[in-house]
Chains A and B, each alone.
Chain A
Amino acid sequence: MAIKILKPGLSTTVQDLGRPGYYHLGIPLSGAMDRFALSCANLLVGNEEGAAALECTFMGPELEFTADATVAVTGAELPAKLNGTLQPGWTSFGVKKGDVLAFDFLKKGARAYVAVSGGVAVPLVLGSRSTYTLGALGGHQGRKLEAGDVLPVGEARGAKAGRAVAEDCRRGPSQQAELRAIPGLYWHRVTEPSGRHFFEDSWKVAPEADRIGYRFRGGRPLDFVPRTPPFGAGSDPSNIVDACYPYGSIQVPGGSEPIVLHRDAVSGGGYMMVGTVISADMDLIGQLQPHTATRFVEVDMPAALAARHDRENLLNKVRAALG
């Protein structure tokens, strides 16, 4: 069983739940930007939650199946059409040998996940099938898919068509995004009024938004507490001695445009960070389109952990219904 890529879409990559354990060598986690949607897609087609699937960004690919299989599309509202017939999202459906899956224009969100029963079976690299394009690592030849690529698919195990994730369990993007963040890291470098403005201001997702990080524009620039530059840090007030960057950390080079690092994060560098987006909201970032209005909402650790548990409980409901 295999999937033939007839058209690749804008940026379609093989992703699973990522490659932990190598960040100290600069190799990031990678994996689905929206991990919740990937898990749901896999559960729908009877796969392990962390099986590899296709992450399709902004524009869908065109795929041909070489054998019968079960498929599900979750995440962004990217309407799937099997041989021209519309298929519901967040719902498994059967495909026959020779069927072609294509997609209409994106209606909502940014990334759709296409899981196929058996999972995409590209080789494991450092324990994961995820694609890390910057390092030409993993996935299919370390790169986004191109027309003519053929992806092997694993052994299916008892997948059924017509299973759906309940409406109230689907996590999706809203018109106005709110990203909850814990201030910290180099928060003390910004003045008190600047810190306030950061959370008050409305930001917009900039066109420079990819798997490495999301850039935001439109809020007031940050003012820094004056200092004598520490040896090795560099002269700009936003410089630090190069350090490791947390996933979700919000760096503000020059104090002007915040960048939130995501699954393909650069692992470190010399820019101060004002805090970190909480783990429960990372999936949501992966569904933000450029120009989406966004606010950062200040939360503390107990609120972050509560949000993390809410997300896990929601996934548990899906597991219970589909498991």
Chain B
Amino acid sequence: MKTRYSFGGDEHIFAEIDETMSLQAFFKSLSMTSAVRESRIAGVTEICPANASFQIKFDPDKISPADMLAELTRLESAADKSASVIKTRIIEIPVLYNDPWTHETLMRFRERHQDPTATDLEYAARVNNLGTVDNFVKAHSGAPWFVSMVGFVAGLPFLYQMVERQRQIEAPKYLRPRTDTPKLTVGHGGCFGCIYSVRGAGGYQMFGITPMPIYDPSQSISYLRDAMCLFNPGDIVKWKPITREAYDQAVADVEAGKFAPLMRDVTFSLDEFQQDIDGYNRKLDGVLHGH
């Protein structure tokens, strides 16, 4: 992995860690952006980690583009030596798979899909050789996911599943994007999962919906009062399949201000994870459920 730097006009530096998505590239993006944040370089206005790249916005009246680039290359050699250990959170997100709202929407846009005769779940199960929708849901919710980027629109997490590449779920985006996606749809495009934070256009396959808001511009939902966006890059997400009854209860709890997401602090080591992926994920599950 050799980082490729390119100026985005006179106010941005774009750094591509790798053309290919991997946890190593994502971790390097995280450690580089943390290093930039900690070094408090005058003139830096935005620090944006992404899946396998990152971007810095700066004020060229305060730091010249050449000096900004020199700072980043200096920080890169330090980031290369740093251990891939992060302090983060693991958050359980309840999902009603195959819900009526995404189902209604996907039927409405069927002519824009690769397979107009199947649902998005049936299609994704087939192209990933998982046989049945049940098996697909097991694979999707069985191992946790990293929030590898937040963006597109406010608070939307891109998620990358913490499994070997051969077990990664892959599904193309719709042939033509939809003009509508229900708020809080759990989606998937390429190798990335996502949660649509707001209602709107979208091209990802739709698998289900969560009752748990993740973006609240009014900052009235209890757990979003301090930060209107739930997710930060580096958070770990574990899906929990739920029934329609549990979904309705959770929606009512959110409205009553009683919903408390299951969320725990955790230290993650990339090296230990890679030595025993399934074992490490079981340990993470243990942290989440307090044993």
| Chain A residues at the B interface, C-beta cutoff of 8 Å | 20-21, 23-27, 125-126, 132, 134-138, 142, 181-182, 184-185, 187, 230-235, 239-244, 246-249, 266-270, 273, 275-279, 301, 304-305, 308, 312
Contact = CB atoms under 8 A, between A and B. Distances in A.
Nearest to A301: B65
A26 B46 contact: no
B179 to A, nearest CB: 12
Given A135-B153, A266-B152, A24 B233 contact: yes
28 contacts: A20-B57, A23-B151, A24-B233, A25-B232, A125-B217, A134-B153, A134-B154, A137-B228, A181-B9, A185-B8, A231-B21, A231-B22, A231-B165, A232-B52, A233-B19, A233-B20, A234-B190, A235-B172, A241-B53, A242-B51, A242-B149, A244-B50, A244-B151, A247-B11, A273-B8, A276-B7, A304-B10, A308-B60
A313 B151 CA distance: 35
B154 A135 contact: yes
Contacts of B61: 308, 312
Interface in B218-275: 228-229, 231-233
A246 B10 contact: no
A248 B52 contact: no
A24 B9 contact: no
Contact of B55 (A126, A244, A248, A312): A244
A241 B170 CA distance: 13
B191 interface: yes
A308 B102 CA distance: 47
Interface in B9-53: 9-12, 14, 16, 18-22, 45-53
Contacts of A184: 6-8, 14
A246 B14 CA distance: 8
The 9 closest A-B pairs by CB, nearest first: A232-B21, A246-B8, A276-B9, A267-B151, A135-B154, A26-B151, A244-B55, A246-B12, A304-B10
Given A25-B232, A242-B51, 15 more contacts: A24-B233, A26-B154, A26-B229, A135-B155, A138-B217, A184-B7, A232-B21, A241-B21, A242-B149, A243-B53, A244-B151, A246-B9, A246-B14, A276-B8, A305-B60
B200 interface: yes
A25 B149 CA distance: 8
Given A232-B20, A276-B9, A276-B12, A23 B48 contact: yes
Contact of A268 (B18, B50, B228): B50
Interface residues of B, number: 55
Interface in B119-166: 149-156, 158, 165
A246 B7 CA distance: 9
B5 to A, nearest CB: 10
B198 interface: yes
Contacts of A181: 9
A283 B94 CA distance: 44
Contacts of A304: 9-10
B229 A248 contact: no
B191 to A, nearest CB: 4
B173 interface: yes
B190 A135 contact: no
Interface centre among A232, A235, A267, A308, by most B CB within 10 Å?
Answer: A232
A125 B155 CA distance: 16
Contact of B52 (A235, A241, A273): A241
A268 B189 CA distance: 14
B51 A278 contact: no
B207 interface: no
Nearest to A235: B172
B1 to A, nearest CB: 12
B97 interface: no
Contacts of B48: 23-24, 244, 267-268
A249 B9 CA distance: 8
